[in-house]
Structure 1
Amino acid sequence: METPRLPVGERVRYYRRKNGNRKQAAVAGLCGITERYLSQIENGHKVPSPEVLARLASELGVPVAALLSDEAPQQTPSAPLTSSPDIVRALMGHQADRSSVPANPVSPADLRERVEAAWSSWQSSPIRFTDAESVLPALIADTEHAVRAHQPPGEAAVRREALRAAADLYGLLRSYCRRTGRNDLSLLVADRAMRAAEDADDPIRVAAAQWNLGHVLLSTDRADAAAEAAETAAHGIARLDSVSPGPEAAALKGALELVSVVAEARQQRWWQARERLRERAGPMAELAGESNRQWTVFGPTNVTLHAMSVEMLAGEAAEALRLADAIDTSSLPSCERAFTFRLEVAECYDQRREDAAVLVHLRDLEVLAPEDMARSPLAHNLIVRLLHRIRPMYRQQVAQLAERLGIAA
């Protein structure tokens, strides 16, 4: 069956949303046209001239042919699926070497130590994917074995500690699976984290599990995913109302508020996102302080990072960069959060067409966290856009960066 030809305007809208969900005003301004004119193009009321079409293609990081082709729109480059087969097998309950599972269950204290070490490495190591893949398969098997083994009457306290370790481990696995392109597995482990936290009757870990689930939903492309993430966060916040107030509850409430902030921004409700940051997340950050409770890295710095993210998503690159100037991520325990911050700074410079600055930040990111760089769809998209428009004097450097990451020119 032949693929129907889509109007040029629909293709422009498709690539504008797919390549960073950028505002019409931002793309139009960089192409030298008005926002109203771009809206008319996307709605099929105007046909762009060849010159405007070329500018749009360059800004969207696609060849002109992609806006005119009879073929269905192609997905923009994304990071490859890189989940370790051993981790996938362990999550599915298939151990390559059954003899590696001890006859007697590992004690909850040993599990706790191993899970915390894995989390520390995940948040701080520049080769965190390699490190995680060396320890997670055995840790998954030992944790699930311990939870199953501590069933008899009289072992409730031991089982509860094993379940707490399991909830924390599944939280780490949610992040790993999402970053390696396996949203299906990310949803699976988020659900397991929720069940383990509920079975442990631990309201703080239940809130952490809902925070994890919210992030899984925010990483999907479904139209209603952002609304579902906000609803999940709201349920988590409501359940924390029964917990004694204090820094720990404030940190989890604040982290859930940030899920709602991102959900508002994804739905282009910019003022609601800004108000939630100011009125809800901010006070929670002051109460919690700079913390890393349940590995959420929630605190005043993270709130400011989200304020910058909102402005970036809104296409307000100048305001985002102004906020970025006041942010110091050196004290954050999470390399991932520092990587995301610098990547969003690169995106802001991309919105302003300051290509040399984009290149500088991308090269710095490759040094900071090479394994994250190789797996980041946003980084890949930024490189593709640079390849299509950067000045000749920088093109070789961009091409070499693309080659190192396996991105086709």
Structure 2
Amino acid sequence: MRKYGLVGKKLSYSYSKIIHTFLIEYYNLSAVYDLIEVDFIDSKLLAQYDGLNITIPYKADVIPFLQKNLSPIAAVNTILKNGDELIGYNTDIIGFSYLVEKLAITDIKKIVILGSGASSKMVAHFFADAEIIVISRNHPQYNYEYLQTITADLLINTTPVGMDAYDSPIPSELLTHYRGIIDINYNPLNSKLGMDAKKQNIPYINGLYMLIIQAVRAFEIWFELSVDPSVVEEIYYHICFLTHPKIALIGMPMSGKTTAITAFFGCDLDDQIIKRSGEKIADMLDRGTFRRAESRTLQALVNEGHKLIALGGGAILNFENLEIIKDYLIIFLNTPLEVLQKRIQTDTRPLLKKKGDLEKLYEKRIPLYKQYANITIETNELEAKLNEYFNN
């Protein structure tokens, strides 16, 4: 059986084993993948494995042990053992390029990178033709105080800030200095940096796709095969579900959120508001007290530990609600407009009284649902996904 693994100092946060175990099982290969925590790198360790991923703080330290280095920068994150020869690669670059493509910010001329480690060098290599400012805590000029004075097309966080606590490497009010934000961290999924960006409608993406793409490329190098792009999406969904014990559903009114959760003993937020307040939603809307009651009830459900909550269609209009469910996997239940148009014929919701109200609401809210959700699932797929999630 062939042996592979990830070498690093602290690996409890890592999803690499999840990804590679998925790929090994998907392609029915005789191999294992381990997490290898060490205090130093040596040739004896490297020789024990057919292939390795390398993470902080060893991406540069490993280079002297290689017989061949194909990385274009002074950082290696993948090693292939070919006979007695160790060959180094950097697959982070292709993973990062995927993030840039997915963020869809064009005409990038100036970037700001937070952090000066191996990942920072990789980002600088990728944007070699742009003006680059690297912010480092110890730099005499380009330190974090300097952020107050600059604007750029992209802000890219390569520091670990936000991984261990709900914290951000940059004050939220400075995020408006940028057209888009990339955070190469991926755990937690709803970080403070990400939430701050979404609150201000600034395009943002975290590093989970980068992690998956770089891992897939390493896997292709080790096993000399090509992974279909559809498998990347399968892995993304697999990680999201596997690493989040609690789910929050968002989506349009009448999208089927309440129906979907009934079989799994979930909580419907609107039903809970009525039950706990003893009032009708229409009456609370008339008095302007509904949104406060909504947040208060949602916080209570989270505090009580409910694992599946369906939010009302307008709950995302109050960003406080999204911060309340930041530890949940936020799923947008996507229902086609034509399906909603059929369902509205028998619905009596107060916000959908006039002809055309549904269409206007749909146009306004769909971009918000997509922006705030971690994943999107079509209505006809949700029950199967939840069944797999709760029964595995």
TM-score (norm 1): 0.25
TM-score (norm 2): 0.26
Comparing both chains, which one has the higher relative contact order based on Cα–Cα distances under 8 Å and sequence gaps of 6 or more? 1
Name the one with the larger helix percent.
1
